Chains A and B, each alone.
Chain A
Amino acid sequence: MEVDEDAELMLRVAAGDKSAFAALFDRYQASICRFAYRFVGDQARAEELAQEIFVKLYRSAKSYRPSAKLKTFLFRVASNHCLNEVRRGEYRMPHVEPHTEEQEGADGQAQHASGPDQALEGKELERAVGEALSKMSERERAAFTMCRFEGMAYRDIAFALSASEAAVKSLIHRATLAVARRIEELQAGLCPARSQA
């Protein structure tokens, strides 16, 4: 059982066991980097945030109670940290520039070299999601990321954001619709260009 294993590892971390912490780090580093990346839209900044979040997790090991799932506890630490850093003005979502024909040519060449059409779709999709995320509130972004990329339940997201489940439901709905509409707009804009080609 992963949850029990996590709790056991965390109790060992609280007793000063660094190898237990390393095991937790290996298990959750991708999730936390992904969360931070969706938050700030830049991989290098996301790793800085992830560093801080894991150091905070290590230092708060003694306050962890196994009644809460470790992943939920970790995302509470991560959400608080990212929200605070963004509010302090330390990090901002970059302004996403409109796609130019030059970029499209360069992207097209890069993808052509690697082959499949699917890669092109992935990049366009990434851009649409990034643009939509950059325009929503921090709490919508956090709730959306935990729900869509980490598959967390609304109840756990509510715990992580210190919010009610009703508030989380509303945050996720608004954010999902914003992303859906941005993807739709992008697809509508791309379709004529593709049919001409």
Chain B
Amino acid sequence: MSCEIEQDLTAFLDGELPELRAKQVEAHLPGCPSCAGTLSLIRRTVLQLAALPELSPSLALRRKVMARLDEPSGLTERLRALFRPAVLMPALGMAAAASVAVVLSVGPESRLDPEQMYVAMNMEMLEDFEVVGLEPEDVEVVTHLHELEALP
């Protein structure tokens, strides 16, 4: 049967107990063969662990990590990359063509608010680019894309 001191034996060996508690453990050990045995087992194990073979990382690891430092991180940077002119202009062109097609096919009886239509269309475009988890300010940008389109 283990005693209450047993819980502190590893911390005792690691020098992590407060001084008073360490003295209590020390005083307890000579009269408790179970704790003395457990402490000796822990001590042996800690010494044996030092003999484990070392692990050497591959030489490629450094190269791979350094190469990844300039990758865009997080949604904001990925969105910025997505909205760079080379991607945005063709996408806006496609969106404009699609909006004309939608307006022509749906007709004047459409109940959709033009802003909602733009959000829906551009959300689709964003999904194509696998952008998920939009933040409120990103939705705001998408909502007003038609204003960007209207710019000369």
Partners in one complex: yes
Closest-by-CB residue of A relative to B69 is A58
Q: B52 touches which one: A30, A59, A122, A154 (CB < 8 A)?
A: A122
Judged by a CB distance under 8 angstroms, whether A47 is at the interface is yes
**Tally of chain A residues near chain B (CB < 8 A):** 42
Which residues of A lie under 8 Å from residue B42 when comparing CB positions? 176-177, 180
Q: B61 touches which one: A22, A50, A184 (CB < 8 A)?
A: A50
Assuming the contacts A21-B69, A180-B45, asked whether A126 and B53 have C-beta atoms less than 8 A apart, the reply is yes
CA distance A45 to B42 in the complex (A): 30
Assuming the contacts A30-B56, A148-B46, asked whether A55 and B68 have C-beta atoms less than 8 A apart, the reply is yes
CA distance A19 to B52 in the complex (A): 32
Closest-by-CB residue of B relative to A32 is B57
Q: Assess whether B52 is in contact with A125, with CB atoms less than 8 Å apart.
A: yes
Which residues of A lie under 8 Å from residue B8 when comparing CB positions? 169, 173
Q: How many Å from the CB of A30 to the closest CB on chain B?
A: 6
Which residues of A lie under 8 Å from residue B11 when comparing CB positions? 154, 169, 172-173
Q: Assess whether B16 is in contact with A51, with CB atoms less than 8 Å apart.
A: no
Which residues of B lie under 8 Å from residue A149 when comparing CB positions? 49
Judged by a CB distance under 8 angstroms, whether A161 is at the interface is no
Judged by a CB distance under 8 angstroms, whether A18 is at the interface is yes
From 122 to 151 in chain A, residues with beta carbon under 8 angstroms from any chain B beta carbon are 122-123, 125-126, 129, 147-149
Chain A contact residues: helix, strand, loop or mixed: helix
Q: Assess whether A34 is in contact with B45, with CB atoms less than 8 Å apart.
A: no
Which residues of A lie under 8 Å from residue B148 when comparing CB positions? none
Closest-by-CB residue of B relative to A33 is B57
Which residues of B lie under 8 Å from residue A183 when comparing CB positions? 45, 48
Q: Assess whether A180 is in contact with B14, with CB atoms less than 8 Å apart.
A: no
Q: B14 touches which one: A121, A126, A154 (CB < 8 A)?
A: A154
Which residues of B lie under 8 Å from residue A54 when comparing CB positions? 65
Q: Assess whether B51 is in contact with A51, with CB atoms less than 8 Å apart.
A: no
CA distance A98 to B147 in the complex (A): 67
Q: How many Å from the CB of B65 to the closest CB on chain A?
A: 5
Which residues of A lie under 8 Å from residue B38 when comparing CB positions? 177
Which residues of B lie under 8 Å from residue A30 when comparing CB positions? 54-57
Assuming the contacts A51-B64, A170-B7, A179-B45, asked whether A121 and B57 have C-beta atoms less than 8 A apart, the reply is no
Q: Assess whether B66 is in contact with A22, with CB atoms less than 8 Å apart.
A: yes
Q: B57 touches which one: A29, A170, A177 (CB < 8 A)?
A: A29
Judged by a CB distance under 8 angstroms, whether B1 is at the interface is no
CA distance A154 to B16 in the complex (A): 7
Judged by a CB distance under 8 angstroms, whether A153 is at the interface is yes
Which residues of A lie under 8 Å from residue B69 when comparing CB positions? 18, 21, 55, 58
Q: Assess whether B49 is in contact with A148, with CB atoms less than 8 Å apart.
A: yes
CA distance A189 to B11 in the complex (A): 29
CA distance A109 to B25 in the complex (A): 46
Q: Could you list which residues of chain A lie within 8 angstroms of chain B, going by C-beta atoms?
A: 18, 21-22, 25-26, 29-30, 33-34, 37, 43, 46-47, 50-51, 54-55, 58-59, 118, 121-123, 125-126, 129, 147-149, 153-154, 169-170, 172-173, 176-177, 179-181, 183-184
Give 12 A-B pairs besides A177-B38, A179-B49, A180-B44 with Cβ atoms closer than 8 angstroms.
Answer: A25-B62, A30-B56, A43-B55, A47-B57, A50-B57, A55-B65, A121-B51, A125-B52, A126-B52, A173-B9, A176-B10, A177-B10
